Each structure stands twice: as C-alpha cells, then as structure tokens.
Amino acid sequence: MRAAVIGVGNIGTLHAKILSDSGLLCGVCDIDEKRLSAYKDLPCYTDYKAMIDELRPDAVHICTPHYLHAEMVVYALDRGVNVLCEKPLCISYEQLDLVLETEKRSSARLGVCLQNRYNRENVFAKKYLSGKNIVSASAQVAWHRTAEYYATGEWRGKKATEGGGVLINQALHTLDLLQYLCGMPEKIAASVSDLTLKECIEVEDTAVIVSRAGAPVTFFATNGAAADMPVEITVVTDRDTVKIMPGAVYVNGVPQDIGEERYKPLGKACYGSGHGALIADYYGRLESGEPFPINGEAGSGSVRLILAAYKSGGETVNV
C-alpha cells in the first residue's frame, strides 16, 4: 500500500506521521510550500490533481479545509483511488449528494475520519448499549476557542469555507457519536447563535439541538466556554444511566472496566488517540477487502444533523 496526504497542516501532519511510521507514506501535497519542507525525501506537490495522477497512490488522506473535501473526494474516487477524508465529509446537501453518488459508482473505497468511534470508552458504550431500549440521551461540548484560534487559518469562521462554526467543526464528533450510539433523530429543532466571537467569525459559536421525532436526543455545544471541558454523553435506558466521558464510562455511577488505551494520543488533546486505531483499521480492511464501517453513508449522519440544525431556525425540520 502507498498513501499520500493532501493538506499537511495541523491534522495532515499527524496523518503523515502515522503513515510514515507504518512505511505507507509516498507523497504529500499542500498549496503552502513552507509546509512541504518537512517532507524533502518524498515527492511533494502543490496541486492535488497532479499528485493523484502522477503518483497513483492506493489511497489519499484529505486533510484540507472543509469546503475542499467534496471536490477532492470526487476527484480521487473517480480515478479509482481510495480516500480517507477528514471530517466533515462535506458542507452542503449538494456536495453530499455528489460525494455519495460518486462513492456508489467508484471501485475505490471512501472512509471518513471519525476517530472518536475508536476510543475505548465509545467502543465499550457501543457494545453495552447495543440492543438496549434507549429512553433519552444528551451530550454537551463546552470548549474555548478565541480570536487567535480563528486567525490560524483564513478558512476558519467563514460560512463559505468552514461551512459553519462549533457544530460542523468542534462538536461534529460528539454529534456523530450520539447518532452512532442512539440512532438518528428523524426530526429536530435547533437554534444557533454567536454569543462570544462576533468580532472574528461569521458562523455560530453556540448551538442547541433537540430531537422532535426518532432517537430522543438533546445536544448543547459552545466554543464560548472559559476553558475546554471534558465532553459528556449521557444515555438513559429503561434500566440504567450510562455516562460516557474521555477515558471513562459510568453505569449508574459505577466506573466500568473499559480496557487499556492501545494507541498513544498524538497532536492536540482534543484529537484523542483514535487516529492511529482508525487508520490501522482502514488499511487492514483495504488489504482484506472487508468493508470499512465509516463509509460515506456512515460519515454523512453527522453532516445531515448539522445541515438540518442550520436550516431549522428554531422550527422543527426533517433530518
């Protein structure tokens, strides 16, 4: 297997390191040539199409700003190149249709990097909750993002390039987990606002989502907290209350044995340690021919929830 990375910023650097450590990395691409200087021993490109056409890697990892994901996924899949795309899969309904249609007709495999599904607490919770009757669930993401954070990338904080704010960036993993563990709400009502970052972003820093039919979930997210708080998910079944936090699961207040961490956390604390596990699983399945569980359809659940939340304006809408 030979793999290439498109976009070697914060997270692309981490993908490149994991691939390089496993002997898979065959090339990198970034429009910012300074970012390529760390990869002098490899073929480097500033044009992702040229990289795909010339290097013909078995897979590309898409680690670019949100608005570029769909066009890059489509270009690679249409050329039979497997894709592991960072979240979000895309930022609009039009892009979603295009990506899913392309995945359907392509011989190549699309995977979406929702690495928190591989965290031991979420692996435990998925198994524990399987087959149980879920009465309600709630989750909260309260993080701290500043003007300095938004200044680290031209694309951040803008509807056209990030696609939204706290929901589509920081909170997406938790929305993905909510619907992975508890099912998809069929209808939601949501409200989004910018309470603390008006001077530097044009998207929401705070959001509330309440399901109105289907899976009974409520969700709160903000980038306006004074510090990063641990993400919390609480699921109430007809028998018990399951609280899921980073590195821990409590059932009716009792800590559960969720096993040891198998992978080292890499990069910022909020990335967790799931990238190593997800990437190993993705390549294991490419080699064995088994389907990768987080394909386009699985990766689109959180995007559908988020797009519905943006559409809602406080009214009940279909997801």
Q: Which residues bind to ligand NAD, rule: CB under 6 A?
A: 6-12, 29-32, 35, 48, 63-66, 68, 86-87, 113, 115, 153, 169, 271
Rank residues 3 and 8 by Cβ distance to ligand NAD and give the closer one: 8
Cα–Cα distances in angstroms (integers) from residue 21 to residues 14, 25, 29, 122, in the given order: 11, 8, 18, 26
CB of 32 to ligand NAD, least distance (A): 4
Q: Least distance (Å) from ligand NAD to the CB of residue 161?
A: 10
Considering beta carbons, is residue 116 or 140 the nearer one to ligand NAD? 116
CB of 115 or CB of 300, closer to ligand NAD:
115
Round to whole Å and give the CA distance between 206 and 225: 10
Our CA angle for 61, 78, 74, nearest 5°, is 55
Nearest distance, CB of residue 179 and ligand NAD, angstroms: 17
- Compute the distance between CA of residue 258 and CA of residue 246 in angstroms, rounded to an integer: 11
For residue 52, CA distances in Å to 60, 82, 248 come to 8, 11, 41
The DSSP-derived string for 292-315 is PSS-HHHHHHHHHHHHHHHHHTTS
Cα angle 204-156-177, degrees, rounded to a multiple of 5: 60
- State CA 239 to chain mean position distance: 31
Closest approach of ligand NAD to the CB of residue 246, in Å: 13
Nearer residue to ligand NAD within complex by CB, 51 or 244: 51
Nearest residue to ligand NAD on Cβ basis: 9
Measured from the CB of residue 146, what is the shortest distance to ligand NAD in angstroms?
15
Measured from the CB atom, the residue of 87 and 120 that comes closer to ligand NAD is: 87
